[in-house]
């Protein structure tokens, strides 16, 4: 979809806007189609032309919230309860293993954002240099590993331990177990983020990664980044990406900002009411539920869902 123009949103708290507050007779059908394509088609959609340059920050947030309402329920993205996240370098140390890399200018390796069915980004502005986005089919990566190294495919379908990076729900351990390859009711769902597997090694209860685990991650990353299974582009102002977390991986290249060009994107994690069934092990990463429309997010006791106007 290209050149999608939204009406200028009214100045209200974005999270207070629902479908009863607006009508988009020439756009809603296309937005719903983009969501279906991400969920049940190729795994991603790209929308261009959201006129963010003529909106205030509150209007940008409201416009993006309206887009997201077509795709599912927004869920919190961190321990502070942010329903819309800001993807921007705010000086956090990328060498600190507990840092979530979206707050840095470092490259992000191939991964999916586990705690949601869909992940979306709206670009407000791009960097002076770098910051390319990459997408890859996690289903095709699975199929190629199964063809080349079936013993590694079997390993990836077994126990892997995922670190919570200090965002620990009440009563939970700081890590949990979830396979990379998950087969359930006729669906293959892939959950992968190798830096979280490495970080989980700091916990004495977590089994040590073996040479085969490292071999599996090397092959997975090699296939995901190869030109046969991936594509790359730089998101420009007004571009929106929408990806399935279960079938699509993404990556972000390192970037350099300048006073005139600061990379800044907004992010939504979304839970559609009609997404695929997931096995019970996903309850750990999906805030305790695998019920479509009621799952997803990082839910921490005492955190009130909110939408900040700036990165924090």
How many Cα neighbours within 13 Å face the side chain of 191?
Answer: 26
Structure pTM?
A: 0.94
Print pLDDT tens along the chain (312 aa).
444 445 555 557 899 999 888 899 999 999 999 999 999 999 999 999 999 999 999 999 999 999 999 999 999 999 999 999 999 999 999 989 889 999 999 999 999 998 999 999 999 999 999 999 999 999 999 999 999 999 999 999 999 999 999 999 999 999 999 999 999 999 999 999 999 999 999 999 999 999 999 999 999 999 999 999 999 999 999 999 999 999 999 999 999 999 999 999 999 999 999 999 999 999 999 999 999 999 999 999 999 999 999 999
Predicted local confidence at residue 11, as pLDDT = 56
Predicted local confidence at residue 1, as pLDDT = 46
Predicted local confidence at residue 98, as pLDDT = 87
Q: How far is CA 68 from the centre of its chain?
A: 13
d(CA 15, CA 219) in angstroms, rounded, equals: 41
d(CA 221, CA 208) in angstroms, rounded, equals: 20
In three-state secondary structure terms, 101 is: helix
Residue 125: name the closest of 50, 250, 2, 235 by CA: 235
CB 247 within 8 A of CB 190: yes
Any bridge partners for residue 266, and if so which? Answer: 86, 122
Predicted local confidence at residue 8, as pLDDT = 53
Rounded to 10 deg, the angle between the 211-225 and 138-148 helix axes is 130
């Amino acid at each position: 979809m290209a050149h999608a123009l939204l009406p200028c949103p009214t100045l209200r708290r974005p999270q207070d806007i629902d479908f009863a507050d607006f009508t988009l007779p020439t756009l809603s059908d296309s937005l719903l189609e983009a969501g279906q394509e991400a969920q049940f088609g190729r795994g991603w959609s790209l929308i261009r032309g959201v006129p963010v340059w003529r909106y205030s920050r509150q209007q940008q947030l409201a416009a993006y919230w309206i887009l997201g309402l077509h795709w599912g329920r927004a869920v919190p993205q961190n321990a502070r309860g942010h329903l819309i996240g800001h993807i921007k370098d705010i000086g956090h140390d990328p060498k600190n293993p507990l840092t979530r890399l979206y707050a840095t200018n470092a490259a992000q390796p191939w991964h999916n954002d586990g705690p949601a069915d869909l992940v979306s980004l709206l670009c407000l502005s791009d960097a002076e240099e770098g910051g390319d986005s990459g997408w890859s089919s996690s289903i095709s990566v699975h199929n190629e590993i199964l063809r080349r190294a079936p013993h590694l495919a079997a390993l990836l379908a077994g126990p892997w331990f995922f670190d919570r990076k200090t965002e620990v729900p009440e009563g939970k351990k700081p890590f949990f177990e979830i396979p990379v390859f998950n087969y359930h009711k006729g669906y293959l769902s892939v959950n992968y983020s190798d830096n979280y597997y490495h970080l989980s090694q700091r916990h004495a209860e977590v089994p040590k990664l073996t040479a085969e685990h490292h071999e599996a991650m090397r092959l997975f990353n090699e296939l995901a980044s190869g030109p046969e299974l991936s594509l790359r582009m730089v998101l420009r102002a007004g571009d929106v990406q929408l990806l399935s977390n279960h079938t699509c991986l993404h990556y972000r290249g390192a970037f350099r900002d300048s006073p005139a060009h600061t990379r800044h994107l907004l992010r939504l994690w979304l839970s559609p009411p009609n997404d695929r069934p997931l096995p019970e092990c996903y309850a750990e990463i999906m805030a305790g539920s695998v019920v479509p429309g009621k799952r997803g997010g990082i839910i921490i006791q005492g955190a009130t869902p909110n939408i900040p106007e700036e990165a924090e």
